[in-house]
C-alpha cells in the first residue's frame, strides 16, 4: 500500500468525512491524490459510496401493507382535543 503524502490508514479514517464533504480542502486534495495511486483505497471509497447510495435509496424500508390505514384509524380513536400541559 503506497503512502503518498497521506497513508492508507489516514485515508480510511477520513473516508466517511470525505463523502460528506466534511474535510478541509487540503486534506481532500491529498486524499484524491492518494486515490489516484492506490487501488485498495479507491475500492474502499467506491464500496463505501455504494453503501451510502444503497442505504439512502428511500425504498429500503417498506412499511407493512395497511400501515397508513391502521395508523389513521388509531388517530381517529384519539380524543378530539390535545391534552393541555
Partner 1 sequence: MGSDTYSQGTAAPSRDKNSLVQMSAIQSQSRADEAHLIKRVCEGEREVFYELVRPYERMVYATAISIVKNPADAEEVAQEAVLKAFSKLSSFRGESKFSTWLVQITYNEAKMKLRKAHANLYESIDDSQQTENGEFWPKDYADWRPIPSELLEENEIRQAVQHAISSLSANYREVLILRDVQRLSIKETTTILGISEGSVKTRLHRARLLLRDSLAPGIDGCWIKGQPYRKVRPW
Binding of residue 26 to partner 1 (CB under 8 A) = no
Q: How far is the CB of 5 from partner 1 (least distance, A)?
A: 19
Reduced 3-state DSSP string for the chain: CCCECECHHHHHHHHHHHHCCCCCHHHHHHHHHHHHHCHHHHHHHHHHHHHHHHHCCCCCCCCCCCHHHHHHHHHHCCCCCCCCC
Q: How far is the CB of 6 from partner 1 (least distance, A)?
A: 15
Query: Interface residues with partner 1 (CB under 8 A)?
Result: 9, 12-13, 15-24, 39-40, 43-44, 46-57, 59-64, 67-68, 70-72, 74-76, 78-85
Amino acid at each position: 500500500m503506497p503512502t503518498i503524502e497521506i497513508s492508507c490508514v489516514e485515508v480510511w479514517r477520513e473516508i466517511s468525512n470525505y463523502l460528506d464533504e466534511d474535510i478541509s480542502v487540503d486534506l481532500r486534495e491529498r486524499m484524491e491524490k492518494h486515490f489516484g495511486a492506490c487501488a485498495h483505497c479507491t475500492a474502499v471509497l467506491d464500496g463505501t459510496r455504494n453503501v451510502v447510495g444503497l442505504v439512502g435509496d428511500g425504498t429500503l424500508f417498506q412499511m407493512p401493507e395497511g400501515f397508513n390505514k391502521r395508523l389513521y384509524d388509531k388517530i381517529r380513536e384519539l380524543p378530539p382535543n390535545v391534552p393541555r400541559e
